[in-house]
Structure 1
Amino acid sequence: MLPQLRPLLASAILMVVLWSCGQKEQQKPTQPQEIPVTVMDVNTQTATYQDQYPGTVIALNEVELRPQVSGFISGVHFKDGARVKKGQLLYSIDAQLYAANYDQAVAALHVQEANLARAQKDADRYHALAENDAVATQLVDNAEAALEVARKQTEAAKANIKAVQTNVRYTKVVAPFSGTIGISQVKPGSPVTAGQTLLNTVSTDSQLAVDFNVDQKEIYRFTQLIQDNKAADSTFTLAFGKQVYPYPGKIALLDRAVDSQTGTIKVRLTFPNPANTLRAGMTGNVLVRSDTNNNAVVIPNKAVTEQLGEFFVYVIADSSKVSQRRIETGRVIGSNIIVEEGLNKGDKIVVEGVQNLKEGSKVSIQANKASNLAKTK
C-alpha cells in the first residue's frame, strides 16, 4: 500500500465505525413520554338547575267597556289608571231622551190599563145579560175577545216600561269588578254607539297570570307539579332581564289541548301583585326549578371532548393509561354537565390536559389544587 493512501484509509475506517455506533444508538427503543394530567373521581349528587321559558303577563280578568245605549258622554267619573271598585260609576251617558221615553211608556201603560178596565166592565155586562138570554151570544164573544186584547196590550206596555227602564240604567256605566282602569278613549261630549264604541278597559290587578308554552313531552312533568304545588314556593319565579320578581308563582293549569302546529301546550302560573308592579302585557322569562335525584353524575364540562357529534371523556385505566369512553350528556349547569350514560361512581376521569391525550396515552397524575367540581346551581 502506498504511504500516501494510509491516512485516507484510516479516516474511512473511523467514519464507518462512527456510523455504526449511530445506527445502534437509533435502534434503541424509546420510552413513551408521560403526559401530565389532573383527574377527579366520579361521584353522584343532587343537581339543581332552572329551565327557562319566555312568558307573557296577562290579567286573570279583563273587560273592554262598551256602552249598551247610544248617546253623548255627559260625565267621566274616574282618573285614568286609577284603581276602581266593583259597582263604581265610571261614565254617564246623556239620559234625557231615555227619561222622556220612560215617561211616555208610563203614560202608555196608564192608557192600556184604562182600556183594560173598560173592556172588563163590558164583558161583565154582556155576561149578566146572557144569563137572562137578553143578548146575542156573538156579542158576548166579542166582549171576551176585546177583554183579552186589552190584557195583552197592558202586558206589552208593562214590558216596554221594563225595556225603557233598562236603557235608563244603561246610561250609567259602572265597574264590573274591582281592578285597574286604563286611559279613557272618550271625553265628555263624545258621541258613542251602543255595542261599538270602546270606552275603556278594566283588568284585575291583585293577582296576575303568566302564560308560557312547553313541549308536549313535558306534560307529565307539569301535571305532577300541579299535584305537588299546594302553595307558592321557589319552584316558579319570574325574571325581567337580570331582575327577578320578588314573589314566587304557583302553577294554576295546563291548557285544554296541545297546539297541533307547534307541538306545545300552554301553562298558566299565578303571581301575587301587592305592589302593582306587574302589568298585563309585560314579557319576561319563567324560571322553573328542577332537582335531579341524588344519583346524578355531574362532571366539569371541560372534561368532555366532542368528535363528529358524539361526546367522550378520558378514563384512567391500568398502568396509568387513558381510555376514551363515549358518554350521553344531559343538562348543562354552569361550568358543569350532567352525564346520563357512560360513567359510573368511582371512575377516574381526566379534567385537565385533555387536549394532549389520545387512546392509550400514558399519563402522570398531578395534584389538583382547586376543587374538581363547581357548585351545581
Structure 2
Amino acid sequence: MKTEQPKSARALRLASLRAGWMLMSAGACLSFPGCKAKEHATLPPPPTVEVAAVTEADVPIYHEWIGSLDGLVNAQIRAQVTGYLFKQNYREGDLIKKGDLLFEIDHRPFQAVLDQDRGLLAQAEARLGKTELDVRRYGPLVKDKAISQEEYDDAVQANLEAKAAVVSAKAQVEQAQLNLEFTTITSPIDGIASIARAQIGDLVGPATGELTTVSTIDPIKAYYNVTEQAYINFTRLFGSESARSDRLRQLEIELVLTDGTVYSHKGQIYAADRQIGPTTGALRVEALFPNPDNALRPGEFARVRVKFDLKHDSLLVPQRAVSELQGSYQVALVGQDSKIHVQPVRVGERVGSLWMIEDGLQPGQRVVVEGTQRLREGIVVNPINFTSEFVGKSPAAH
C-alpha cells in the first residue's frame, strides 16, 4: 500500500498541469484578433447597389406621331401646248419667284398661226364694212321702191353674218395669241423648283406629264395621322366646335428631326381632314411650321410632338429602377438602415429615361437602379449614388 500512494499523487499533478496548459492556450488564442475573425469568415459582405432619389418635377405631357413634310403649295408645271422644248431658263433646286421664266417651247409655229388668224380677222372686218355700206345705201332705195324688200333684207342678213364672222375671227386671234404665250412657261408661285423631268428637244404637250414642280416651303406642311380613338377622346374633352378650335390654336407643336434634334421653330395646327381614313382608321392632320432658311424640304420624315398638358409635382424615378411582375410594377427601396423593402407602385407616363410614379412612393426615398436582380426583402446592402444620364435635361412625357 505504501508504494501506490506516490504514483497516485504524480498522476494528479500531471492532470493539473495539462489542464493549466489548455487554459493558457485558450486565453492566448482569445487575446489575438485572428482567432476571433474565424467565427465571421463565412458571412459575405453586403452587396453594393446604385440608388437614386425619387425626384419631384413639373412634367409636360407630349404625344408624338410620325409625320411627313410637304410644300404648302405644290405647283405641277405642265406644257399647255404641244411643241418642242427649246430652252430651260432656271437652275434646278433654286428659289423661284412668281412669274419667273422656266421653259420655252419653239414659238415659230404658233407665231405663224397667229399671223394667219390676224389675216382672216382683217378679211372678216373688210366684209363687215362692205355689208354695212350696203345696208346704209339700200335703206333709202327700199323706201323709194327702187329695190325690192328682198334685196334689202339680204343686205341686212349679210351684215349680220359679217359681224358674226368678225367675232369668230377675233376669238381665233385671241386663242392663237394665248397659244403663243403658252410657249413661255412661267412659275405661278414663289418656291423651289425641282429637277426637270423633260430635256431640251423633247416633244412636250398637255399629255406628256409634268415638266417640273415648284413648291412653296415657307411655311412648310407636316402631315400626320391621329387615331380614331384619340380623336374621339379629344371631342369628349372639348364638346363644342369653338372649344376645339380654341384648344387647337393653343397647342404647342414641335418637330423632332430624324437625328433626334428638335426643330428651332414651333408650329401650329393648320387643318384636319373631313373624314377618318377608311383604310387607315385615322384622321389626317396638317400642321404648319415656319421655314425661313428653307432648311426643311418636302419628303422629309419627322416626329410631330404636341404638348397637351403640364403635370405638376410629378414623382420621377429612372426606368431601370422599375420592374414588372405579372402585370404589376414594383421598386426596391433602401431604408435608413440600408435594408431592402420591395414596394409596389402604380406607374404613369414615360419621361425620357425616367418614369412617372402615380402612387406608392414619396419624394426623397431611395430606389435601387442597378443591382436589383440579386435583392430580396430585408437584405442589407451597401448603397452608392447612381448618376442618371437624364441629369441636366428637362423631362417631357410622351
Q: Which amino acid aligns with 1:298?
A: L
- The answer to whether the aligner puts 1:268 opposite 2:286 as a matched pair is yes
Q: Match for 2:73 among 58, 61, 79?
A: 61
CA distance in 2, matches of 1:300, 1:79: 53
Can you list the C-alpha shifts for 1:232-287, whole angstroms capped at 9, x where unaligned? x7x41331224444444343333333223323222323333333332211223334
Q: How many residues align?
A: 334
Q: Is the 8 A contact 1:36 1:364 kept in 2?
A: no
Once structures 1 and 2 are overlaid, which stretch shifts more, 249-258 or 64-73? Answer: 249-258
Instruction: Report the more deviating stretch, 237-246 or 87-96.
Output: 237-246
Report matched runs for 1:53-202 at 5 Å. Answer: 53-202=65-214
Q: What is the aligned counterpart of 1:259 among 277, 292, 299? A: 277
- Distance apart, 1:199 and its partner CA: 1.7
Compared CA separation, residues 215 and 343, structure 1 to 2 (3 A) = farther
> Cα 1:36–1:156, aligned 2, differ >3 Å: closer, same or farther?
closer
Task: Name the structure 1 match of 2:26.
Answer: none
Match of 2:295 among 277, 297, 302: 277
**Inter-partner Cα distance in structure 2 for 1:203 and 1:372:** 45
Are the aligned partners of 1:95 and 1:168 in contact in 2 as well (CA < 8 Å)? yes
RMSD: 3.8
* 1:86–1:177 Cα contact (<8 Å) kept: yes
TM-score normalised to structure 1 length: 0.73
Distance 1:204 1:374, change over 3 A: closer
Amino acid of the structure 2 residue aligned with 1:252: Y
The percent identity for this pair of structures is 26
Equivalent pair of 1:255/1:265 in contact (CA under 8 Å): yes
Which of 347, 352, 357 is residue 339 of structure 1 equivalent to?
A: 357
| Cα drift, residue 100 of structure 1 | 1.1
Q: Tell me the SS of whatever aligns to 2:277.
A: coil
Match for 1:239: what amino acid?
A: L
Q: CA deviation at 1:315?
A: 8.6
Query: Cα distance 1:89–1:350, how it changes in 2: closer, same or farther (>3 A)?
Result: closer
CA–CA separation in structure 2 for the residues paired with 1:38 and 1:107:
96
The structure-2 alpha-carbon separation of the partners of 1:107 and 1:373, relative to structure 1 and needing over 3 Å to count, comes to closer
Mapped contact 2:249–2:268 kept (Cα < 8 A)? no
In structure 1, what is the Cα distance between the partners aligned to 2:364 and 2:348? 18
Q: State how far apart, in whole Å, the 2-side matches of 1:45 and 1:269 are.
A: 30
TM-score by length of 2: 0.70
Instruction: State the distance in 2 between where 1:326 and 1:242 align.
Output: 31
